[in-house]
Structure 1
Amino acid sequence: MATKLSDEAKVEAYVRALIEAGRSEGRANADLVQWLHACKFSPEVLETLSTMGREHDLALVKEFSKRYKEILDSEDETVSVTVTTAVPMDDALRAKICAKAEADLKAPVYLVERVDPSILGGIVMEVRGKRYDASVRAQLSNIRKTLSSAYVGSGK
């Protein structure tokens, strides 16, 4: 009589299989990064990927992504706004940014949040293909350029 594997044994088997496959292709660490992102996928995304895999259509993932965005953009008035901050946003800041973006864009907003400590502070927003950089890093860069041109152009 076959015994059913425990969840712990299943996890171990899955992990070892993925590590072995990743090592044979020289990408075990890259697979871990992808897995961490995959944990955020909705059940529908996972099922679609699973179906594409069974049908040997994984080579279509890039084209799928492009077409998905095209259809969504043409059929949905929601605007995707990507916001990058140096530290994670709290609920109050998130609500304020959404409210301001929705008022300015006159459309519902889907907020994509990114954290990048290298911007030092402030905010970087990307919307409809345009980038608005109000980060501390950008401000320091502008000050550096201004001082550099003032010094070089001062004639001293």
Structure 2
Amino acid sequence: MTSKRAEAEKVEAYTRALMEAARSEGRANADLVQWQHARKFSPEVLETLAAMQREDDLDLVSQVAKQYKEYLDAEDKTVSVTVTTAVPLDDDLREKVRAKAEADLKAPVYLVERVDPSIIGGIMLEARGKRYDASVRAQLANIRKTLSSSFIGGEE
């Protein structure tokens, strides 16, 4: 299947699913207007909305927007740090991560915790648009890359 054909099929599937849901709720025109504005949303807004949807917390959208504005107005210096681990953090490790991040960033930190078993172990941190990846998955990828370049270079 060509990529254009596959893309067209995906677009049709998404469109039909959206339309069916909107029609069943009697809001097809309203959903169209929202959809036309959706492309303006940043990836962060879309990700947050998706997380809120998964947790059945969409009723909190207006409160989050209000608090977001309050934080901006107060020029909150707190840095959000996303911490990804293979298993949930315990309280001791959470506090160690927070303390280290606050020392490194020289600012108060709010931890956003994610669990992703695919990283196998270790930790990934993201803050201020930078990523620190000390996951086992990343270490294995680096080892694989080093070994493959060593063997390729060694055979010549």
Measured against the shorter chain, the TM-score band is 0.5 to 0.7
Following TM superposition, by how much is the alpha carbon of 1:38 offset from its aligned partner in structure 2, in angstroms?
2.8
RMSD of equivalent CA atoms: 3.3
Identity of aligned residues (%): 64
In 1, Cα distance between the equivalents of 2:73 and 2:135? 28
Instruction: Give the secondary structure class of the aligned counterpart of 2:107.
Output: coil
Which entry has the higher C-alpha Rg, 1 or 2? 1
The correspondence of residues 6-85 of structure 1 with structure 2, limited to 5 A, is: 24-25=20-21, 35-39=53-57, 45=60, 48=62, 68=68, 72=72, 75-85=75-85
Instruction: Give the secondary structure class of the aligned counterpart of 1:153.
Output: helix
Taking structure 2 as the reference length, what is the TM-score of the superposition?
0.59
Q: Which runs of 5+ in 1 are unaligned?
A: 1-21, 27-32, 50-63
Instruction: Give the secondary structure class of the aligned counterpart of 1:112.
Output: strand
Amino acid at match of 1:116: D
In 2, Cα distance between the equivalents of 1:73 and 1:153? 56
Following TM superposition, by how much is the alpha carbon of 1:137 offset from its aligned partner in structure 2, in angstroms?
0.2
Instruction: Give the secondary structure class of the aligned counterpart of 1:123.
Output: strand
- How far does the alpha carbon of each residue in 1:102-139 deviate from its partner, in whole angstroms, 9 at most, with x for none? 11111100000000000000000000000110000000
Q: Which runs of 5+ in 2 are unaligned?
A: 1-17, 23-50
